[in-house]
Amino acid sequence: MVKNIGSTDKLIRLIIAAVIAVLYYTNFISGTVAIVLGVLAFVFVITSFLNFCPLYLPFGISTREKGKE
């Protein structure tokens, strides 16, 4: 698995996941919207920790700096 998520991308994903969690726990979002955003937040956290986004692969996108392994 080739790493294709850089540190800035990783930070943005984790911040978005945290915002979604706060919105859920403060009951600002609920129902189907909460479920969909919760799944999205979970995916953001997993891809951040793996440093790999499968959606970037077919498009050849990489936010990692050149030369970083």
* Domain residue ranges in the chain: 17-50
Structure confidence at residue 7 (pLDDT): 93
Work out the percent of the chain whose per-residue pLDDT is above 70: 96
Binning pLDDT at 50, 70 and 90, where does residue 41 land? very high
What's the one-letter identity of residue 8?
Answer: T
Half-sphere exposure of 35 (CA within 13 A, CB side): 2
Is residue 44 within 8 Å of residue 13, measured between CB atoms? Answer: yes
Q: What is the DSSP letter of 64?
A: S
Q: What is the DSSP letter of 65?
A: P
Tokens (6 digits) for 11: 């930070």
Structure confidence at residue 1 (pLDDT): 81
Q: Tell me the C-alpha distance between 63 and 69, whole Å.
A: 13
What's the one-letter identity of residue 19?
Answer: V
